[in-house]
Chains A and B, each alone.
Chain A
Amino acid sequence: MGIPVSGKNIFPSNIKGLPTWFSIRVSDDGYLARVAHDDIIVQMNPTTFQDDLNYDIPGGVVFYADHINLPIEREDVIVYPMPVKDLIRSAGVPHDLRDYMQNMVYVGIVGQILGIGMEFIKEALLRQFKQKPSVAESNFAIVKLAAEWAKTNLEKIDRYRAEVREPLDEYIMTDGNTAGALGAIYGGFQFCGWYPITPATSLAESLGMFAPKLRKDQKTGKNTFAIVQAEDELASIGMAVGAGWAGIRSMSSTSGPGISLMTEYMSLAYYAEVPLVLWDVQRVGPSTGLPTRTGQCDLNLVYFLGHGDTQQLVIIPSSVNECFEFGWKAFDLAEQFQTPVIVLSDLDLGMNLWMTKRFVYPDLPIDRGKIFWESDLEEHDGEWGRYLDIDGDGIPYRTVMGNKHPDAPYFTRGTGHDEFGKYSEDPEVWMRNMDRIKKKFDTAREKLPKPIYREMEDAKIGLIAMGSTESAVIEAQDRLADMGLLTDFMRVRALPFPKEVKKFIKSHERNYVLELNRDGQLHQIMIIEYCDMTDRLISLSYIDGLPMTADWIIKTVVRKEHVRND
């Protein structure tokens, strides 16, 4: 492809029969965010016909299947009817395949009107039906027929056209869940316990697809990993905690409702100091909510996940490429800090297609953290306590089962324990241990992925965001600059925050914290952390289930700025 592009499948929580939309963003400037209004709409479904018409911009184009017998009241759009059923019938497509083949009619007609070369469409079909070239051929026959029809019967009067460009070499196209799974595979994951839940399911399924190819032992041809579909999230996290404790790289993946169920084990993992990686691919709302829609509603949940003085390490990718990178880095962080690491993704990132930079091979060796095997214990003459802070960074050394050194075994418990893992209810011991864990988190603060900045000279306004809204923020930032409003953008990539976050907030008169949730959760956490700078932090947040748009950012930022200036 010669131009950045993203594709979003907007679908209801349903198997078949209800309307779904697929929206493609193509932008010469490289913007990938969703737009609220479309240039070109292909209408195949009478149920949403009237509503969807309203989404077309003035001067936009509507292709529609002509058996949709509804009035078109807009006069400011260009309309191309498509005789979908007639063409399918005349092509002699068998009855049972007609519904499936209808799409090829619009592909042919849209291709013809926009000037997309038939050879590219054929190539795409051959790729799609790699295993069945005959299916690609029969589909392509319909495409050709439809294109011929359009050539003879439609006059092109719109302003859109496709042009051939050199492919963007450094880019690939995939989704964040596939990327996260591949990241985990290159990060040496060895165990995954999971339970199906939209929109996280495809992450574990991708593991199951790629791991058997990539992670067979070279010598024996046997698996160096295990994946278990658990009976529920209570069990999937239990398995992950067990595996992490026993010294293998362990993970689970879920979404908000699953995180709720995992809370108790995550508290134990925090306190017993068990490394594991947990992906939260966020969906919308409390309870079932909008399970097939996207949002950033779980930030507070995951950061404070647990009972009784807990806090979790959270890293937040914003691109498919970063899903891969955090996919492997998360294991190193979890084992370095001997605690769960939560990777906070969302449906838009996880399930939708994005052009993204090629995956980069890990530039750091695998880091297993402070782990003592037999020889290490011998070197230390057995001077070792599971929760003893030797190095002053709050991170103790751990041993794992199978270690034959007589001083290696210890009893892991959620009950109060001292530096040597012994049961204790001593007030001093409790306080000392919890303070040490806090120290460990302060060490982690500066070792987690640092923020990414996109700055403009002389900007006095800060934009702060996280995760998949990055593409909308970048687009908004450029357009705001065109309007004369210069901003610096800081994308936060981890919690707890490193010191740079404070510096950024402090160096801007106003910081708009942009997020896809009702209450402005990132803003809330910043207010807690930086209570001396609350006047510099302004929350701009909303949630409607759809990916954030640049339009919304521009509209709300401009409104706030005007209110100030009035």
Chain B
Amino acid sequence: MTDQKVKANAIGLTRSDYRGERSTLCPGCGHNTISAQIMRACFEMNIPPDKIVKFSGIGCSSKSLAYFLKQSFGFNGLHGRMPSLALGAAFADTSMKVIGISGDGDTASIGIGQFIHLVRRNLRMVYIIENNGVYGLTKGQFSATAEKGLELKHQGKNPFVPIDIAKEALVGNASFVARSFAGDPKQLRVLIKAALSHKGTAVLDIISPCVSFNNREDTLHSYQWGRQHEAPLHDISYIPTRKAIILDEFKQGEIKEVTMHDGSVVILKKLDQDYDPTNKLQSLQILEEAEQNNWLVTGLIYVDPDQPSLYDYMDLIEEPLNRLSSERLRPNKDSLDVINDSML
């Protein structure tokens, strides 16, 4: 056994403490890469598994919930309706890190309504869409994110224009929108970390190729197309706490920093063009340009670290609601007498 394997993180846990059940998804499925990066991000961020709770809807993506973090509570809910499930549960203990896994079938069709309402409420959670443009579990139908003109084996040609989930999120006033690619695990991991540090809903639209039904080299959601067309907006890094020395190292290139709600810093190093992810107009523009030019833009598309979250409107007690003793849940008898008297 090598040292690498048993190396523990700052809270004394090893990588295996973040594992899930063995994946039953197809070998090479993009979703497995995403699961692996979630595990690694949580390990590296030293988050205890009991402080994480996982939710999903229905589909291949949603099955993957079982394949990471088996020491965390999880709930595999209904098709397209994971946002409401997560929202209700989150109130039981607002200190939990909430991770939601969805797919393009789950989010962009039946779930589009709950998705938009989740981002508009800005519940603190990471919302990952494992986006492959196709229905896997029902064997290869078009999803709403499939590009116009896509040809699938039993379906023929897709006549409809796709839904762009990142764009929908932006228009829905999401406070954190990123896009990544399962073929770029390093960037993906950084984005997951940034998302876990966000105080509102962090939307991660991840192109995650389906090796069984939609991975032809000329199609938008394939590995090869992604590798050839990926256009990162920036070189992105994440540092858990602001440290001057580390920041200095980055200063060599042109960088932009975004300080997240928990004090961590996302560092965006300039690539081809200037890009400011705190500028919503620019974010919308880049997505529009990407669509017109067939670029797979990846990176942090938009972020507003300070947008109030749902909890900010609730004036909730800090202790977990699900640990409050019964005595603290029932008003006293005198208060009922007052109510009775007021209804005479």
Query: Which positions in A face B, CB cutoff 8 Å?
Result: 167, 171-174, 182, 185-188, 190-191, 193, 210, 214-215, 217-218, 220, 222-226, 228, 230-232, 234-250, 264-265, 268, 272, 358-359, 361-362, 365-366, 368, 399-404, 406, 408-415, 423
User: Which of A182, A214, A235 has most chain B Cβ within 10 Å?
Assistant: A235
Q: Is the CB of B88 within 8 A of A243?
A: yes
Instruction: Knowing A224-B317, A358-B340, A402-B322, say if A247 contacts B92 (CB, 8 Å).
Output: yes
Q: Which of B49, B70, B83, B344 is A411 in contact with, Cβ under 8 Å?
A: B70
Q: Is the CB of B74 within 8 A of A234?
A: no
- Provide the B328-342 mask, 1 if CB < 8 A to any CB of A, else 0: 111101011001100
Q: Which residues of B contact A174 (CB under 8 A)?
A: 343
Instruction: Knowing A222-B317, A224-B321, say if A185 contacts B343 (CB, 8 Å).
Output: no
Shortest CB-to-CB span from B51 to chain A, Å, is 8
CA distance A241 to B323 in the complex (A): 18
Shortest CB-to-CB span from A471 to chain B, Å, is 19
CA distance A408 to B49 in the complex (A): 11
19 further contact pairs, Cβ within 8 A, besides A246-B90, A359-B339, A409-B71: A191-B321, A214-B335, A223-B314, A224-B321, A226-B321, A230-B117, A234-B114, A242-B90, A243-B92, A246-B88, A250-B88, A268-B77, A400-B92, A401-B93, A401-B322, A402-B50, A402-B320, A410-B73, A411-B66
Query: Which positions in B face A, CB cutoff 8 Å?
Result: 49-50, 53, 55, 65-66, 70-78, 81, 83-93, 95-96, 113-114, 117, 121, 314-318, 320-324, 326, 328-331, 333, 335-336, 339-340, 343-344
Q: Is the CB of B66 within 8 A of A265?
A: no
CA distance A93 to B75 in the complex (A): 63
Q: Is the CB of A412 within 8 A of B76?
A: yes
Q: Which residues of B contact A182 (CB under 8 A)?
A: 339
Q: Is the CB of B75 within 8 A of A265?
A: no
Shortest CB-to-CB span from A387 to chain B, Å, is 15
Nearest-neighbor residue (CB-CB) of A230 within chain B = B84
CA distance A231 to B76 in the complex (A): 21
Q: Which residues of B contact A268 (CB under 8 A)?
A: 77-78
Nearest-neighbor residue (CB-CB) of A227 within chain B = B314
Q: Is the CB of A234 within 8 A of B92?
A: no
Q: Which of A228, A235, A400, A409 is B322 in contact with, Cβ under 8 Å?
A: A400
Q: Which residues of B contact A224 (CB under 8 A)?
A: 317, 321, 324, 328-329
CA distance A361 to B335 in the complex (A): 10
Shortest CB-to-CB span from B92 to chain A, Å, is 3
Q: Is the CB of B88 within 8 A of A238?
A: yes
Instruction: Knowing A224-B317, A241-B88, A359-B339, say if A412 contacts B74 (CB, 8 Å).
Output: yes
Instruction: Knowing A236-B84, A238-B88, A246-B88, say if A231 contacts B78 (CB, 8 Å).
Output: no
Q: Is the CB of B91 within 8 A of A411?
A: no
Q: Which of B66, B117, B340 is A423 in contact with, Cβ under 8 Å?
A: B66
CA distance A411 to B77 in the complex (A): 11
Nearest-neighbor residue (CB-CB) of A362 within chain B = B330
Q: Which residues of B contact A171 (CB under 8 A)?
A: 344
Q: Is the CB of B317 within 8 A of A247?
A: no
Q: Is the CB of A222 within 8 A of B315?
A: yes
Q: Which of A210, A235, A272, A365 is B81 in contact with, Cβ under 8 Å?
A: A235
